[in-house]
Amino acid sequence: MSSTNKDPQGDLKTALNHAASLLQHNPVLAEQQALEILKVVPDLDPAKHILGASLRFQARLPEALQILKPLTEKLPFSAPIWHEYGLALAAAGNGDDAISALRQAVSLNPQQAEAWRALGDQLTLSGDETAGEKAIEKYISCLTQHPELHQATEFLHQGKVPEAEHLARDILKKHPTDVVAMRLLADIGIKLNQLDDARNLLERALELAPNFHLARHSYVIALYRGQKLIEALDEIDKLLTIEPNNPNYLTLKGTVLVRKGDHAEALAIYEKLLKNYPNQPKSQLNYGHTLKTVGRLEEAITAYHKSIELSDEAGEAYWSLANLKTYKFSNEDIEHMLSLVTTEGGDPEDQSHLAFAIGKAYEDRKDYENAFKYYKRGNAIRRLGHPYDAKINVYESVRQIKCFDREYFTTRQGWGCPAPDPIFIVGLPRAGSTLLEQILASHSQVEGTAELIDIIALSRKLGGKKRDNAATLYPEVLRDLPEEKFREMGEGYLETTRIQRNTDAPFFIDKMPNNFQHIGLIHSILPNAKIIDARRHPMGGCFAGFKQLFARGQTFTYGLEDIGHYYRDYVKLMDHWDEVLPGRVHRVQYEEMVTDTENQIRKLLDYCGLEFEEACLKFYETDRAIRTPSAEQVRQPIYKGGLDQWRNFEPWLDPLKEALGPVLDRYPID
């Protein structure tokens, strides 16, 4: 007689646990297991819960809701059921109902961490960012036992980065495996552009806690900022495997795809999001940006207007309209923008965007005094959060000049990677670089990409640069490197930029303007690359930069004196490259390109070793994605009327003239 007695309850519990364990990596099998259990025990609530979750994972949302809604009525005090119901509602695009369900989940169990995270996502998506941040803080508090982390998080939200960093480091010293502290310190690192450190911290956190989704989200951002786009997409797909319709994950994936140049896929994501969340201003804004990039202008304008309708803080959307350069604001637009201007308080980012947009509106109406007033206001607000020290730029320019003398290049002749693929366009922003890129990208042998960060990232890596104001070993470190290292760096540049290339064209363009500071490095690692200096008259070029709001970097443009001194440093450094590398850089004066287009294009192509093609003269007919502020302008024939726009503002430009000083002798105003 057998002595083994099976425990039916134990078998049922094992079956339920097994089905639940399948949800994330095999929801189809989880569904099958749940259905098998329900055949045996037809009204088993835990099995129905698993079945509903498995259907959500498969994006079969109506079926999931049909299972889960009755469960919330039957088990109204079950936080896990309300949490799952909220996730399904969110995935189906029912944002308000999802928020209600998730609020019910966290009220029933304030320690339901993932419900707080989902609630934070939905609140942020609805436009209530303050409530969203508070929900995420609750999520973090559920994960950690250390109250100091709450204080550190609060410091970070208040912009007190050093205090937040100090606290987070102290916590990690005491508790070296606290993944929440790791993630917070990594977020601080991302903010400070310490991307390698941030990635290392997040990789360790995910090794310890693979299901810490907020850490993985931060990891995607760190990879994205570091131009590691394939890796970023791999990580975001891991999150989307768990929550296929999570709008924040989808938005982030769209952002990465845009940077990668996959605009069609990004547009499909944004269109899916807007179908489910038509009243989300940020999604409308992102959609508009991508539509603008691919040249679908009217649709972009519609998306920007929709974003304005949905948000109390519409500055970025209004600036996006202004930044099209071809959009004209109506009287109603201007009245609404002026009504949003604050005399004190208000979000600085929103107010600066708004000021630049109003400046553009007044300039279009030839009210130059008010236009300058608002450009000046926008720059002043921007400067508060983006300080600039002109002395540092002078110092770095002098270091470049001293390091890269004739002897340096003579002793390293023939070093580096011989590939001729890259065409670098350097100079100041708003100096015609997008026009040159569009002309060259119209040639059958050349592919346009974007303002690539790879050379700047390499300079930071060489210098061991971790903070914007920290001492660095670059460029002097190059003097101590062996020959093979230069070839390795050149090949590395070609490898890291390959993700930006979508055709078989033998040449590609890197139009990061700030690379003029790194021509010594570029020549050292890629001696056969082409380098083009896009230059504009100092008054026109500097004022164009002053009235342009840049998303990141270019902090020297927020004051007339600063931009004038920066232009002087730029000219001095370019003169040095001309002296030690004669003929290496081809200069294109914007004014000459505008007034003598065909001749200048032929010279440009000749320098690049390219045969003349008629398409380069008809560059405005070339259909390609363009990510810079001049996108719509270069989709039209060259316009000569913009050459002297700065003269309309001359009464207020004396500080710029004084800062430019002797440069104006070289480029006379009259």
> For 392-444, how does the pLDDT look when each residue is reduced to its tens digit (9 = 90+)?
999 999 999 999 999 999 999 999 999 999 999 999 998 999 999 999 999 99
> How confident is the model over 9-39, as pLDDT tens digits?
668 889 999 999 998 889 999 999 999 999 9
Q: What are residue 555's phi and psi, to 5 degrees?
A: -70, -15
208: CB partners within 8 A, 6+ apart = 177, 179
Report, as ranges of residue numbers, the positions in the chain whose pLDDT lies below 70. 1-10, 145, 465-471, 623-637, 639-641
> How confident is the model over 614-670, as pLDDT tens digits?
999 988 887 645 555 554 455 556 766 677 899 999 999 999 999 999 999 998 887
Q: Which residues pair with 531 in a beta bridge?
A: 424, 585
The pLDDT of residue 625: 56
The pLDDT of residue 551: 78
Reported as type and span, the H/E element at residue 614 is: none
Tokens 């994960």 -> residue: 143
Neighbours of 111 (CB within 10 A): 12
491: CB partners within 8 A, 6+ apart = 417, 419
Reported as type and span, the H/E element at residue 588 is: strand 585-589
The whole-angstrom separation of Cα 113 and Cα 274 is 27
Scanning 7-78, the segments in alpha helix (DSSP H) are 8-21, 27-40, 45-57, 61-74
With contact defined as beta carbons under 8 Å apart, do 213 and 117 qualify? yes
589: CB partners within 8 A, 6+ apart = 535, 536
Distance of CA 613 to the CA centre of its chain: 35
The whole-angstrom separation of Cα 382 and Cα 385 is 6
The pLDDT of residue 68: 96
- Closest residue by Cα to residue 281 from 273, 291, 269, 290: 273
- Closest residue by Cα to residue 349 from 302, 323, 327, 317: 317
The whole-angstrom separation of Cα 106 and Cα 97 is 15
Both tokens assigned to 297: 């202008």
Burial class (CB in 10 A: 0-12, 13-18, 19+), 384: exposed
Both tokens assigned to 121: 């996502």
The whole-angstrom separation of Cα 626 and Cα 261 is 10
Query: CA of 624: how far to CAs of 238, 294, 439, 620, in Å?
Result: 31, 7, 12, 10
> How confident is the model over 525-564, as pLDDT tens digits?
999 999 999 999 999 999 999 999 987 779 999 999 999 9
The whole-angstrom separation of Cα 220 and Cα 215 is 9
Residue type, 647: R
35: CB partners within 8 A, 6+ apart = 51
β-bridge pairing 507-510 and 530-535: unpaired
Under DSSP, is residue 54 helix (H, G, I), strand (E, B) or coil?
helix
Tokens 């690692």 -> residue: 525
Burial 339-367 (b: 16+ CB within 10 A, else e): ebeeeeebeeebbbbbbbbbbbbbbeeee
The whole-angstrom separation of Cα 320 and Cα 149 is 37
End-to-end CA distance of the chain: 112
The pLDDT of residue 465: 53
Reported as type and span, the H/E element at residue 531 is: strand 530-535
The whole-angstrom separation of Cα 394 and Cα 668 is 24
